[in-house]
Amino acid sequence: MKILIAEDDEASRKLLKCFIEMLPQFQVIAEAADGEELIRSVMENKPDIALVDIDMPLLNGLEAVKSCKKLFPSLEVIFTTGHDQYALEAFDVSAVDYIVKPIKRDRLYTALERVEKRLYQSGITSENASKNKDIMIKRNNQITFLAPEEILFIEKLDRKTVIHTNDQKYETNEPLVTYENVLGPRFMTTHRSYLINLDQLTRVETAGRMYKAYFKNYHETARVSKQKLVELQHSKSVSN
């Protein structure tokens, strides 16, 4: 996940960056030293998370974040400050957390973990990623972004959901319906346990009472129910 650090004190910026770089799922993509630079940087870089000091020159962190939220409502914000009197105002702008300096590593990590959970619970996608139409997959306590065009099909397997790509499989605990809701019209549910990418589909063949869907450069297949076959044929011309 992409992080922007807004802090007018250079030593504090370096410390925050040092802490964050220890976590592989997070990446510091930009820094800002005042409120106006924060707004410009959010517009240019579109981070997922902003770590924002409240006491900054030109425009304080609270006012800057209010402007950022109008442009990017999904931006997650963690405030850092040497004072605690702004806590209520911070949460009025839907801040994830409010950390009073001096910042300790474990305290920062707790706040970042809270952000991960919020993003995950929001439906596996963030609006920041949606411009690239990425979906967000949580596995092994980390979040991975995956472009829909990489997906061949998604399969419900026992209590797991398996996302098939040419490079690897991704196992998640999300139900199949979650992906049905967030992926675009080029994805179709062909069976109660399968969601397929129509752009990756090469052919459909009969397999007893069911049908098998085949994909580009991939040995595994997805199921197509008889009831869904006509709908699939309308969506994409296939041989069977």
Of 132-146, 157-171, 216-230, where does mean pLDDT reach its minimum? 132-146
Mean pLDDT of 33-58: 90
Q: CA–CA distance from 16 to each of 109, 129, 190 (Å)?
A: 11, 24, 47
Angle between helices 105-121 and 10-20 (to 10 degrees): 60
Q: Domain-by-domain residue ranges, the chain?
A: 2-122, 135-235
Provide the 3-class DSSP secondary structure of residue 132. Answer: coil
**What is residue 154's predicted lDDT score, i.e. its pLDDT?**
97
**pTM for this prediction:** 0.52
Residues of the chain with pLDDT > 70: what percent?
87
**What is residue 214's predicted lDDT score, i.e. its pLDDT?**
95
Provide the 3-class DSSP secondary structure of residue 47. Answer: coil
Locate 25 and state its tokens.
Answer: 């799922």
**What is residue 174's predicted lDDT score, i.e. its pLDDT?**
81
**What is residue 20's predicted lDDT score, i.e. its pLDDT?**
94
Residue 221 to residue 223: CA distance in whole angstroms: 7
pLDDT digits (tens, 9 = 90+) for 125-160: 444 444 445 677 776 666 677 888 999 999 999 889
Determine whether domain 2-122 maps to CATH 3.40.50.2300. yes
68 has a pLDDT exceeding 70:
yes
**What is residue 183's predicted lDDT score, i.e. its pLDDT?**
81
Class of residue 229 by CB neighbours under 10 A (exposed 0-12, middle 13-18, buried 19+): middle
Domain 135-235, what fold?
Answer: OB fold (Dihydrolipoamide Acetyltransferase, E2P) (2.40.50)
Mean of all residue pLDDT scores within the chain: 84
239 has a pLDDT exceeding 50:
no
